[in-house]
Chain A
Amino acid sequence: MRRLTPYLLALPSWMWLGIFLVVPMAAMASVSLQTGNAIDGFAMTFSFSNYTDALGRYSPQLLRSLLYGGLATGAMLVIGYPVAYWIAFKGGARKSMYLFLLLLPFFVSFVLRTISWGFLLADDGVLFGPLKSWGVLPAGFHVLATTFAVVGGLTYNFLPFMILPIYVALERVDPRVIEAAYDLYASRTAAFRRVVLPLSLPGVFAGVLMTFVPATADPVNAQILGGTSNTMIGNIIQTQYLTNLDYPTASALSFTLMAVLLVGIFIYAKALGTENVLEAAAR
């Protein structure tokens, strides 16, 4: 009995994984290989051509999603790292207040925030209307319905998920280590590059993971802020599933997206040296 106890204790989480991860994934894998339609039913035909067809038709949107996800993640890193650094090292006693302020907008629903950007950035809205009437901006200037708007929206919406892990990593850096670097005649740049940055890499790794994946798969920003050629793979999956009831294509696309993201993450993990990163993160 005693030996069984740990397994029994872990049972709920295994069941959770089984019911909410393994079963749906298996069902989705199965559906992705079926053919038919929603009225007459779908039957398993091991139709691997669902994958090739879907990829053939939607590879532009898939590549675009990876590009947008990548651009947004890059932008988040550039914006987020200094913010996290500043809060961790210069935040002083107000650290928790800064973090709270950072999170405050995210108490509002994701979709509502994105729609609000649509209002703010309207061609003749509160922001651009006056600028246009003063002649600062040309009359035809617009931000909505452009790639910039979509990538900007993604960057804004996922930013805290980049900042928080980096902050946690930086927060744990022992100040004595940095002091030691100075004692050993390191310049400020060298101390950052050779001590602080490597120690914060686990945070960066986690941040990139937590932002790149959802940003790439996101349908909301493209739909609300995008134009005629900003459709992302998430929008396609949604349309296939809800509008066309083409469950096989939707499942095949979801799996393809998942596979591409996993491969991407593995390559990225290899490049950063996972062993080190995971060890450091587990410390």
Chain B
Amino acid sequence: MDPSINPALLRGMTQARTRRDAFRIAGLSAAGLALAACGVQGKKAAPPKADAVKEFWAKQTKHGRVVFANWPEYMPENQAPLKKFQQATGISYEYKEVIQENAEFFGKADPVLRAGQSLGFDIVVMTNGVQLQHMIDLGYVTALDHSQMPNFLANVGDKYKDRAYDPGNVYTMPYTSGVTGIAYNTKYVKDEPKSIEALFDPKYKGRVGMMSDAQEIANFGMFALGLDPEKSTEADWQKAGAKLKAQRDAGIVRKYYDQSYIDAVSKGDVWISMAWSGDVFQRQLAGEPVKFVVPEEGGTIWTDNMLIPKNAANPLDALMLMDYLYQPAVAAELDEFIQYVTPVPAVQDLLRENAAKATGEAKKSLEDMVDSPLMFPSEADYAKLRTYTKLNTKQEQVFNPIFQSITQA
């Protein structure tokens, strides 16, 4: 319709505004102004100065309580290490298994920390990767006081004192490490897959599980092409993306999994899948037909780290608990349950001693642990392992779409 003869429009243009209209217009403009005004503030933080850190810790006192947020299956069910800590120090603890995924955890924590509030946790555990990097860059992590972590400094392996994502342990202490490799269901896959090419083999069409996490899957694409993720460039990501896309388009991949891959591979929905070492080891001990290999082209080593988030209520108690866990006996007790790679090398000897004392079933499983390259990798094993690609914000905006366009088509 010609707007010039639209009666409603004519009336609107010509008639005087009523008071209600005036309110309406005022409201609209206010909303418009509010819209224009509310940006989301950046919080990029400079690295802390040594004096400031010292000053911060000098002010802290013991509060007698600590809240520890961790991943599921990362603490024996009887919580013995924590109970002993409570007896030794008189600090009561609350242990919460609330972290299931780094991205999700960070997505929920970010607005809280951005607003300057406390998460309600004194210790949280996060994997080295984009989200941990964000936490550090945004100033969400309390710098540690090295004068108050004697057990850590005395007992932790050298590798864990110099990690690329947190050189010199300014912010984090490693809780445990693990390897991303290949799991296979022994019922369906008879000969052990040695190469990463098994994941691209048309023989397993529709029976291959890949991970949906961009960094995890990117690494495997790069391993398959003989590229080192730590030194990779945008061109490498594109090549890895093309390789993974071809794998998907050929119908080889059944699904891009999160943590649920382990059920799929032990039930036989997929026969061969990208996998995390400790998961597979736990299932194996439970008698399920799954095995884990590190492909000869390489696997990914990652580390879960303890840190004290900004605005935590009880930082000193948190630091005491974190340091306590690095006593070899405590670390051994933890690792016996977790079955990933412990950052405390002395644990292997302790477990060997325990195995010598134990009998029957317990002896067997302790011996398995001591000999397992998944819990105590040799130097040769370490040589095959790579970490994630380190990304800045700009690179992330290129990296993520390349791999998410494959996992979320």
Contact = CB atoms under 8 A, between A and B. Distances in A.
A239 B138 CA distance: 20
Contacts of B401: 57
B400 interface: yes
Contact of A39 (B39, B206, B393): B393
Nearest to A34: B39
Contacts of B397: 37
A5 interface: no
A27 B254 contact: no
B267 A39 contact: no
A235 B408 contact: yes
B286 interface: no
B269 A41 contact: no
Interface string B392-403: 010011001100
Q: Per DSSP, are chain A's interface residues mostly helix, strand or loop, or mixed?
A: mixed
Interface string B368-409: 000000000000000000000000010011001100100011
A26 B35 contact: yes
Nearest to B185: A124
B44 interface: yes
* Contact-size category for A: 35 or more
Interface string B328-360: 000000000000000000000000000000000
B267 A125 contact: yes
A187 interface: no
A209 B396 CA distance: 39
B35 A44 contact: yes
Interface stretch (B84-92, B103-111, B291-299): B103-111
A27 B31 CA distance: 10
A124 B35 contact: no
Contacts, number: 108
A34 B393 contact: no
Interface string B22-44: 00000000010011111111111
B253 interface: yes
A247 B41 CA distance: 13
A243 to B, nearest CB: 4
Given A41-B39, A124-B268, A244 B110 contact: no
B260 interface: yes
A236 B408 contact: yes
Interface string A120-156: 0011110000000000000010101100000000000
A40 B44 contact: yes
A238 to B, nearest CB: 9
A29 interface: yes
A244 B393 contact: no
Interface in B130-173: 134, 137-138
Interface stretch (A6-14, A197-205, A222-230): A222-230
B281 interface: no
Interface of A: 26-27, 29-31, 33-34, 36-44, 46, 57, 60-61, 118-119, 122-125, 140, 142, 144-145, 223-224, 226-229, 231, 235-236, 239, 241-245, 247
Given A34-B39, A38-B393, A124-B267, 8 more contacts: A27-B38, A30-B38, A36-B39, A36-B40, A38-B134, A122-B268, A142-B206, A228-B254
